[in-house]
């Protein structure tokens, strides 16, 4: 694990994408504690690699527009507020179906291009509402579950919540792990917990939220990532968006290196979702660059990469508007909901 998580001195800026041709379902593997114990992370090297990655790899003009459109198609459009309502969720779903205004599409001459987000992420209460609003599209409905965001509900209650969301029509479940298992290096308990969540998903995609802002060290992030994948996680996700520190590029680098090693050892591809604090078009390009450089173009699809964000869509739309018309649109011209 150490060779994959560390940013090595011999080739710190080299693209090392995997030779993978298609996504494969993650059935999980038996827990290998020796593999977990091998994890070593050179924090300074990871931070250096993350800092230089986004300065040496840039896209401009038409290529930038293509990447921003790609970012939209990999987005989980999210509303997870205490004041959510069914009407707000319906408006969010309408935006998910048509994330760009007809004016912007006309300026860019992409009127016939089918641009939609990958998924809409909501609380369990709104799953059925979202399913009805997205009927006839390929947009998935994701539900946060298992005592989101702290993940400290009774275990059986957390499992029941997963099953209820699946029964209501959720195609993806974002589950929260017990961070204490990571702090105590209780890897068997973490493995069994994620394994139970995966079974409760009953075919729905299981996206495991690690809460990386709470995990203290990059080594903890790397080890938790591996255990979650061994237990069958279809995606590993950085954050709930509610922690004081959410998605950062060093954390993303650590998690993508763990994904790469898991693919090399098992032949199985696992998706990655950074979430929390991603608000600008520039940040979406940074994350796309990380994915392409570390995992290769196969991961630049909604099947294996998601951006957990909502406010970012408004900034992307403003950038696209400027590229097409030469003017930045006022914020009220691109309301999110």
Q: How many CB atoms are located within 10 Å of the residue 61 CB?
A: 8
The yes-or-no answer on residue 237 being catalytic is: yes
- In angstroms, rounded to a whole number, what is the distance separating the alpha carbons of residues 121 and 310? 10
**Which member of 76, 174, 286, 315 is catalytic?**
174
Of 98, 43, 53, whose CA–CA distance to 72 is shortest? 98
Omega before residue 253 within 30° of 0, cis: no
User: What pLDDT is recorded for position 209?
Assistant: 97
User: What pLDDT is recorded for position 243?
Assistant: 85
The yes-or-no answer on residue 140 being catalytic is: no
Mean pLDDT by 10 residues, the chain (337 residues): 41 45 80 96 95 81 91 96 96 95 87 91 97 97 95 95 97 97 97 98 96 94 98 97 90 97 95 94 95 94 93 90 73 62
User: What pLDDT is recorded for position 8?
Assistant: 36
**Which member of 234, 273, 292, 315 is catalytic?**
273
User: What pLDDT is recorded for position 337?
Assistant: 52
**Which member of 95, 140, 237, 292 is catalytic?**
237
User: What pLDDT is recorded for position 335?
Assistant: 61
The yes-or-no answer on residue 70 being catalytic is: no
Q: Which CATH class is domain 2-8+23-333?
A: alpha beta
Enumerate the domain spans of the chain: 2-8+23-333
- In angstroms, rounded to a whole number, what is the distance separating the alpha carbons of residues 238 and 245? 10
- In angstroms, rounded to a whole number, what is the distance separating the alpha carbons of residues 188 and 45? 30
């Amino acid at each position: 694990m150490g060779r994959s998580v560390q940013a090595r001195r011999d080739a710190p800026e080299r693209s090392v994408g995997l030779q993978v041709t298609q996504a494969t379902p993650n059935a999980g593997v038996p827990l290998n504690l020796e593999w977990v114990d091998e994890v070593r992370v050179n924090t300074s090297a990871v931070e250096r690699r993350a800092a230089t990655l986004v300065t040496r790899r840039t896209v401009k003009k038409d290529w930038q527009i293509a990447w921003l459109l790609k970012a939209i198609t990999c987005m989980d459009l999210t509303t997870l507020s205490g004041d959510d309502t069914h009407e707000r969720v319906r408006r969010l779903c309408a935006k998910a179906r048509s994330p760009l205004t007809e004016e912007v599409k006309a300026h860019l001459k992409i009127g016939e291009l089918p641009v939609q987000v990958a998924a809409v992420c909501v609380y369990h209460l709104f799953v059925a509402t979202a399913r009805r609003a997205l009927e006839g599209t390929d947009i998935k409905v994701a539900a946060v579950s298992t005592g989101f965001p702290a993940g400290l509900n009774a275990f059986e209650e957390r499992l029941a919540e997963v099953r209820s969301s699946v029964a209501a029509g959720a195609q993806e479940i974002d589950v929260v792990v017990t961070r204490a298992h990571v702090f105590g290096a209780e890897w068997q308990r973490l493995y069994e917990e994620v394994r139970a969540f995966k079974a409760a998903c009953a075919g729905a995609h299981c996206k495991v939220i690690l809460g990386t802002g709470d995990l203290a060290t990059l080594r903890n992030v790397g080890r938790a990532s591996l255990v979650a994948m061994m237990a069958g996680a279809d995606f590993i996700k950085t954050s709930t968006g509610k922690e004081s520190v959410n998605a950062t590029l060093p954390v993303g680098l650590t998690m993508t290196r763990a994904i790469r090693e898991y693919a090399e050892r098992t032949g199985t591809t696992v998706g990655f979702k950074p979430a929390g604090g991603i608000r600008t078009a520039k940040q979406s390009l940074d994350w796309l660059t990380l994915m392409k450089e570390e995992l290769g173009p196969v991961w630049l699809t909604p099947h294996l990469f998601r951006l957990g964000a909502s406010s970012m869509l408004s900034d992307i739309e403003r950038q696209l508007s400027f590229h097409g018309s030469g003017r930045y649109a006022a914020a009220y011209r691109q309301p999110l909901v």
